[in-house]
Each structure stands twice: as C-alpha cells, then as structure tokens.
Chains A and B, each alone.
Chain A
Amino acid sequence: MSEIDSAAVLPAPGPAPLGARLHEWVVTVDHKRLGLMYVGAGLFFFFVAGIEAALIRWQLAVPNNHLISPDAYNRLFTMHGTTMIFLVGMPILLGIANYLVPLMIGARDLAFPRLNAFGFWVFLFGGVLLYFSYVAGEGLYGAGSAPDVGWFAYAPLTGAAFSRGNGTDYWIVALLVSGLGSIATAVNLVTTTLTMRCEGMTLGRMPLFVWMMLVVSFLILVAVPPLTAAQVMLLFDRRLGAHFFDAAAGGSAVLWQHLFWFFGHPEVYILMVPGFAWASEIIPVFSRKVIFGYPMMVAATVSIGFISLGVWAHHMFAVGMGTTLNSLFAASSMLIAVPTGIKVFNWIATMWGGRIRFATPMLFCTAFLLQFTVAGLTGIMLAVAPFDWQLTDSYFVVAHFHYVLIGGLLFTLFAAIYYWFPKATGKLLDERLGRWHFWLFVIGFNLTFAPMHVSGMLGMPRRIYTYPADRGWEPWNMAASIGAAVQAVAILIWVWNVIRTFRRGKPAGNDPWNAWTLEWATTSPPPAYNFEVLPTVRSRRPLWDLKHPEDPDWKYE
C-alpha cells in the first residue's frame, strides 16, 4: 500500500474546503439536506417577496403617492403573490415534510431519493426563471417585464393581445416547472408514508404531522396537474394562436377561472394543512398532554382534503354563475368550516387543563389559534354569496386571506422553526429574542391587516396603485403601513436570532423539549442514516414509552 492510499482513508484534518462542501450539497440525495435546502431557498424568496410587500405598503401609506409607477405596482403585487404561494409556501412546507416525515416514521430516507433531489432543483430552477423575467420579460416586442397579471392571471388579460412581451410566458413556464417538482415530492411523500414505516408504526399510530402531510400530498397530486394543464392551454393561446380563453372565437374566460381555482382553492389547504400539522405536534408537547381526539383530527383532515376539492367557485361568486351554483358553492364552503372548527376545538381541548409552557413555539401556536379563528370567521362571511358580491375584490378579502396565510400559516411556520431548529442544527434559538420577535410580530401583523377589514368595507378595491384622499381610507392605510414596518423589525430580530445561534447558540441535546415523536430519539442533527437501529414503536408516543416504562401509553391505546 502506498502512503497516498492510507492517507485517503484517514479523516481529513479540519473541515473540508468550501468547494468540496458546496459540492456535497449540490449532489446530495439525503432527505435532510434537501429539506434544509428547500426551507433555505423558500426563506430566501420570503425575503424577496417581503421586500415587495414593503414597497407596496410604502406606496399605499398615503393617498396620491407616486413613489411607484402603476406598471411597476402591477408587477409588484403579481410577483409578491406568486412568490409567496409558489416559491415560499410550497418549498417550505415540502422541505419541512422532507426533513421530518422519514424521521417521524422511523425510516432512513424517502422512497425515491434521486426523485427528491430532482424535485428540489426543478423548483429552484422555476423560481430563478420567474425572477429572470425582470430582465428577459421584454421579449421581441420590447414591451414586457416581470408578469403583471395578478397571481391568478385572469383571462383575457393574459391573452397575447393584452399582455405584451414575455412576462406572462415566464409566469406560465416558471410555475409549470416548479409544479412538476411539487408533484414529484408529493409522489415521494405518499410512497414513503405508505410503505416505509418502521415496525409497529401503524397508520393509527402515525404522528398527526405525517397524517396531515399525507393528505396534503394527495391534494398536490390531484390539484396541481390541473393548473399545469390550464397553463399549457394559456401557453398554446399565447404562442400557437389557440382559442381556449379567447372569447372572440367562442372560448371562455370563465373556464380559466374554473380551472385556476380548481387548483387555487385546494392550494389554500395545501398551504394551510401543514400549518395544522406543525401545530398538532407542538401544542401537545408544550401542554404536556396527548393531542385531544386523535382519530377526529385524522378524520377532520381527510374531510378537509375532500371538501376542499369542491369549493373552488366561491372565488367566482361575482362572475354570474347563477343561483344554483352560487348556493352550492356557498354551502360547500360553509361545510368546510365544520372539520376546521373541530380541529380548533381539539387544539383548545389539548391545552385545557394542561401544564402549559409558553416557550416561543407555543406562543406562536397560541396566536395562531386566535388569528386563524378570525380568518375562519371572515371566510364564512365571504362564503355567503350576497355578502361576497358586496366585498369581493376589496381590501376585506386581502385582510381575510392574509389572516389565513400569515396569521395562520406564517405563525405556525415560526413555531415550527423555533421547535425543530435545534433538531436540524443542534442549537437552541434564543428565547428572549424569540419573545421579542413574537410580540413585535403579533403587533405588526394585526396592525397591518386588521385595518384592511375596515378599508375594505369602506370600499377600497384591491390592486389599485394609489387612491384619492377623500374616501376615509387614509388612517387605515397609514396604520397598515406602520404595521408592516413593525413586522419588518420583528423579522430582522428573528434573522439576528438565527445568525447569533449559528455562531454561539446553546447546544440543544437530542430532545430539548421533552417531546414524544421519533425525530427526537436520534441525535441533533441526525446522522445521514437517521437511526443506527430502526426503532420499534408500540404507541403514538414512542418516546413517552421509552421515558416512562412504568406507565407506557400502549397499555391504554
């Protein structure tokens, strides 16, 4: 044996060179690394879309403002919405599932690791493509830039005649490509969950997180392809002269709305159910009680999945579908409040009588419960078709869905990040900074979006780049803009918290929250193979059984 050979098998002294480490990340098929890259890329786009939102609020702070031109404003709200849904929400929820599902079911990786890597890279490519439109959207006409047709890109505005340049084409292709990534990851998550659970991990013992991500994955499989199909049709219309959405040739602009919302409304649940999933893991641990009504939670999730496929046209009450369809979709939309309400009551019942510890993840979950209930109530109001006619396309709707996606989803996301950060990095985020982040964010969020209910009821429409001074909208808009600044400060505190923790955070240990699911049974961060010996479980709380051999759960389940 030569000396070179023996040197090759010795551990390298010190960390590998930067190039080698980056290369490892690029070629990895490990579900944990891909999960972290998903979340990291999602957070990057979160800052981009957050800056877009800040510009929007800056422009709207005072009436008759001319900081941003109308055209640039149209691009801003389109890119803000598109980015937040497709490049922030989707990758982060898929990334967290990527990281946690195999750990929680006692598996070593996802079913198809290379497909998983494909999903991530194709998503990232789509994201880059969307933003590339700012420089390349001009096209041959010299008339375009980034897409400016709203995140739902209504026909006929998107037709070749009205949307010049290549902006809309970039919107189509970017989302189509990242949608393929979502479908690939959904295939992976369903297969992993159904075929790779460790010994004893029956469906009835799976953590609720895994159950809910299973439902989300099914929704992705059913709901994302119709968007892909509709986008292909739109591309054919724009580039090949087809007539799908061309009313002049008998095509239907309303068909686009049906197809888009057949994707768009399940998408709301694709985004929101992961929030429920994170909360369902965190609330029991910080209440020191088992989740209340586990079977009902599963049943409610599955019913939300089914009902969410049948409510899409409540986005279209104002297009004149007729009384029958309006009534049908109003009824189905109200119906979905039932399983959702069951969940809220179950979370409250879990907290009831528990020994609650208000660490940062629990603070965010508690605020989520209150704010999400507000979102649900305005949702029921908007499900009443005549009420919707009055307030459709107003800031009331903007307030409603930001209470869902920020008050609900983003709050649970922060809870999840504070909760699982120690597992992924081995270090605990600072609690004091976490509380600052939480309180400033609660204040900033509510200050931004609560006033929009009022400005909406006063008649302020969405998507206007400025407004006159005599409508009584000024105080509400000023409040919202101040709130946005407070939110920005809160986010910066969180960024500082993350940076500081990376540099000199407290070591977390394997199980800092005294939790019960399998991801806490391995080291923090987990080794590449997750578990040295694949675990065997006998109840829904395998770690409780391990810690309390005298009083294990499996005796009662």
Chain B
Amino acid sequence: MTEHAVAVTAVPSESLRGRVGMLCFLCSEASFFAVFVVAYLFYVGKSATGPTPGAVLDLGLVGVNTACLLASSVTIGLAIRAVRRDRGRAFVGWWASTALLGVEFLAGTAVEWHRLLRTDGLTIATNLFGTSFYSLVGFHAAHVTAGVLAIAVVLALAAAGKVRRRDAERLELLSWYWHFVDGVWIVVFTSVYVVGR
C-alpha cells in the first residue's frame, strides 16, 4: 500500500506541472465563454428591432472559416508529432500551415464583420443580437488572435533554428490552447449559426 502510494506521487516532473496548470487555465476560460454562450442563447429572438441573425448571417463564408479552423487543429497535432520525432522541417511546415489557417479564420471573420457593419448596419449597439453576437464571436476571435500571435512567435524562433525536441512539451501546451479555442468555436458555431439562426 505504502510502496504503491510513493510510486504514484514521486513524479513531480516539469511537464506534469505545465499540463495541470494549462488545464486549470483552460477550465477558467471555459467558464468565461460559457457565460457569453448562455447570454447569446438567452437573447435569441428577443431583439426589439432588426436585423435578425437569419437575415444577415452568411453560412457560406463561416463554413469555410470553420473548416480552416478545424483543419488547423489537425495540422498543429501533426506539427507536435513532428517535433517530438525531431523532424524539424516537417514541424515548420505543419506549424506554418496552422498559422496560415488561423490567419484565414481571422481574415474571414474580418470580411464577415465588415459586411455586417457596412452593408447590414449591425453594430454592438443596434439590438440584442448585435450585442450578444459581437461579444461572443469577438471574444473567440480575440482568443484566436492571441493563439496566432503565439504561433507566429514560435515560427520565428523555428526559423532561427531555435526550436528543438526539448521544447516539444511547451509546444504541446500551446497546442492544447489552440485545440481549446477550436472546441469553443464548435460551441459558438452551433449556438450562433445553427441554433440561433
């Protein structure tokens, strides 16, 4: 009994520490997003004036964005596998693709918002839909932006030849954040473009 217990607790490694810390952080992030999702769903159909989600949300563009973001989870996973096997060039390739897919998502969002603001006249102050839409989608996009910036920093380091196998654990944690942001998007997409439309 005692021997077994010792064996279980005697691995306070750096990596375990980082993983638990990242999971805790993501847990608090999930709690943060949950509130905006709840508020969005709570206000579906309660706007006093137009425009309504059905009239202005374009599924085609957001479909492409969603596909890119989901694909980026795959590419970042492949990048992590490559760095764990010390295959530097494959890593840079997959990592750069992740960054590109992330940038595409942000650019797509920018196009969508531009259209909503200019053509449809929907701002955060227009109605409840605008209020809850820009807050929820905006906070998600802000998280994607943070992720893209972090990925870009790693890319710059990799270009300078400074990313090695020993960094795999830290990159893995960054990929967890990326997967999380991806997962949040699935919930946001479902709430905004499927349920709320």
Contact = CB atoms under 8 A, between A and B. Distances in A.
Interface of A: 111-112, 183, 186-188, 190-191, 194-197, 199-202, 217, 221-226, 228-230, 232-233, 236, 240-244, 249-252, 255, 259, 262, 538, 554
Contact of B125 (A224, A225, A243, A554): A243
Nearest to A204: B5
Interface stretch (B29-37, B66-74, B83-91, B160-168): B29-37
Interface stretch (B17-25, B105-113, B149-157): B17-25
Given A236-B131, A240-B124, A538-B2, 10 more contacts: A191-B21, A195-B16, A222-B31, A226-B31, A242-B130, A242-B135, A243-B127, A250-B43, A250-B46, A250-B128
B118 to A, nearest CB: 18
What's the dominant secondary structure at chain A's contact region?
helix
- Which 8 A-B pairs have CB atoms at the shortest separation, nearest pair first? A241-B125, A229-B35, A225-B32, A242-B131, A225-B31, A187-B24, A191-B21, A202-B5
A196 B11 CA distance: 8
A263 to B, nearest CB: 9
Contacts of B35: 225-226, 229-230, 259, 262
A191 B132 CA distance: 34
A190 B20 contact: yes
B10 interface: yes
Contact of B42 (A197, A202, A225, A255): A255
A229 B124 CA distance: 16
B132 A200 contact: no
Given A200-B2, A200-B6, A229 B36 contact: yes
A221 B47 contact: no
Nearest to A539: B2
Interface residues of B, number: 37
B27 A236 contact: no
Given A195-B16, A226-B32, A229-B35, A111 B131 contact: no
**Residue from A230, A249, A255 with most neighbouring chain B CB atoms (10 Å):** A249
B12 interface: yes
A394 B46 CA distance: 34
B119 interface: no
Interface in B41-95: 42-43, 46-48
B21 A201 contact: no
Given A195-B17, A226-B32, A240-B125, A202 B8 contact: yes
- From B2, B21, B48, B128, name the one whose CB has the most chain A CB atoms within 10 angstroms: B21
A202 to B, nearest CB: 4
Contact of B131 (A200, A221, A244, A554): A244
A233 B132 CA distance: 9
A228 B29 CA distance: 11
A196 B17 contact: yes
Contacts of A186: 24, 28
B116 interface: no
Contact of A112 (B21, B28, B42): B21
A200 B32 contact: no
A224 B28 contact: yes
A241 B35 CA distance: 19
A251 B21 contact: no
A197 B48 contact: no
Given A187-B21, A191-B24, A249 B127 contact: yes
Contacts of A187: 21, 24-25, 28
A221 B24 contact: yes
Contacts of B131: 236, 242-244, 251
A351 to B, nearest CB: 30
A187 B32 CA distance: 15
Contacts of A201: 9
B43 A251 contact: yes
Contacts of B13: 195
5 contacts: A195-B17, A240-B124, A241-B125, A250-B128, A252-B42
Nearest to B132: A244
A236 B31 contact: no
A222 B47 CA distance: 30
B28 A221 contact: yes
Given A200-B2, A232-B135, A244-B131, A221 B8 contact: no
Contacts of A249: 47-48, 127-128
A190 B130 CA distance: 38
B39 interface: yes
B128 A233 contact: no
Contacts of B47: 249-250
A217 B25 CA distance: 12
B29 A255 contact: no
